[in-house]
């Protein structure tokens, strides 16, 4: 039986085990808590890894885990819910998680380690940077670009052609109608009116 390592034991782990049970049913799961990441060194780096760590306001844990995994030679496995709808012109990097009800339209690009949570809509020609996290039910209209390590809060809407930088946090339920620079937190409607720097 093929082994697979799953990192994280919280809500995202439970969701992934349930929603991707078809994919996981013939695998021997090795479950590791984020706090015990170092114990990965005891395993063969040929074993694929799923990063089942969510995010609640930033992607710090997902980003750190990815860097550690890369350093010690493990590769991330993508898991895509059969209950999502994904254009066959979408490019999906390594270690992406796509949850049920997500819709990803034509010509979009998900870089490595992107997490697309339940019911997210990504319209045509969007680009989502490494380790960015799209929380439940958010909507990216067409041609939206999101940098690396950014967090888009639950139920947010980003209108077309907007560019979001790296390390940005967008609060739950926000409406984003203008570009947001790197290292900012923005929330509300319109989000650019409530903005602060993180560093
Ligand atoms: C944006 C966010 C990160 C800000 O957190 P924070 O820096 O700790 O902010 P605070 O809770 O101290 O709130 C600061 C102010 O912003 C307001 N605020 C915070 N989040 C807001 C939001 N999403 N929309 C509108 N206003 C918001 C607060 O009401 C408060 O206003 P006040 O100063 O007038 O009282 C957080 O509120 C948020 O929305 N996180 C996203 C959660 C989410 O989507 N989780 C999904 C998991 S799948």
Contact 161, 142 (CB under 8 A): yes
Same domain, 102 and 174: yes
Burial tier of 30 (Cβ tally within 10 Å: 0-12, 13-18, 19+): middle
d(CA 147, CA 137) in angstroms, rounded, equals 19
Burial tier of 64 (Cβ tally within 10 Å: 0-12, 13-18, 19+): middle
**Residue of the nearest CA to atom 45 in ligand 1?**
56
Which tens digits make up the pLDDT trace of 10-26?
999 999 999 888 889 98
Which tens digits make up the pLDDT trace of 49-81?
999 999 988 999 999 999 999 999 999 999 999
Residue 1 pLDDT greater than 70, yes or no: no
Helix (H) or strand (E) holding 46: none
Average pLDDT, integer, range 143-157: 98
Which of these three, 43, 72, 101, is where a domain ends?
Answer: 72
Which tens digits make up the pLDDT trace of 95-126?
999 999 999 999 999 999 999 999 999 999 99
CATH number at residue 11: 3.40.50.20
Q: For residue 100, what are the domain limits?
A: 81-196
Q: How far is the CA of 14 from the centre of ligand 1 (A)?
A: 26
Residue 199 pLDDT greater than 80, yes or no: no
Q: How confident is the model at residue 198 (pLDDT cuts 50, 70, 90)?
A: confident
CATH number at residue 87: 2.160.10.10
Looking at residue 177, its pLDDT comes to 98
Q: 10, 57, 136, 198: which to mutate for ligand 1, most atoms within 8 A of CB?
A: 57
Which tens digits make up the pLDDT trace of 157-191?
999 999 999 999 999 999 999 999 999 999 999 99
Same domain, 9 and 58: yes
Q: Is the CB of 173 under 6 A from ligand 1?
A: yes
% of the chain residues with pLDDT over 90: 93
């Amino acid at each position: 039986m093929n082994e697979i390592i799953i990192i994280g034991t919280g809500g995202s782990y439970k969701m992934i085990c349930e929603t991707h049970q078809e994919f996981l049913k013939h695998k021997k799961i090795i479950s590791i808590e984020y706090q015990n990441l170092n114990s990965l060194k005891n395993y063969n780096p040929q074993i694929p890894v799923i990063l089942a760590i969510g995010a609640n306001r930033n992607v710090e844990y997902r980003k750190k885990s990815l860097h550690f995994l890369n350093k010690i030679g493990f590769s991330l496995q993508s898991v895509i819910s059969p209950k999502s709808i994904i254009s066959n012109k979408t490019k999906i990097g390594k270690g992406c998680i796509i949850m049920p009800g997500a819709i990803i339209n034509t010509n979009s690009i998900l870089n490595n380690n992107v997490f697309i949570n339940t019911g997210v809509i990504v319209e045509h020609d969007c680009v989502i940077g490494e380790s960015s996290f799209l929380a439940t039910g958010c909507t990216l209209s067409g041609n939206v670009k999101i940098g690396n390590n950014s967090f888009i809060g639950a139920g947010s809407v980003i209108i077309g052609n907007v560019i979001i930088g790296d390390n940005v946090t967008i609060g739950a339920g926000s409406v984003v109608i203008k570009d947001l620079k790197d290292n900012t937190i923005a929330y509300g409607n319109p989000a650019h009116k409530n903005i602060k720097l993180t560093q």
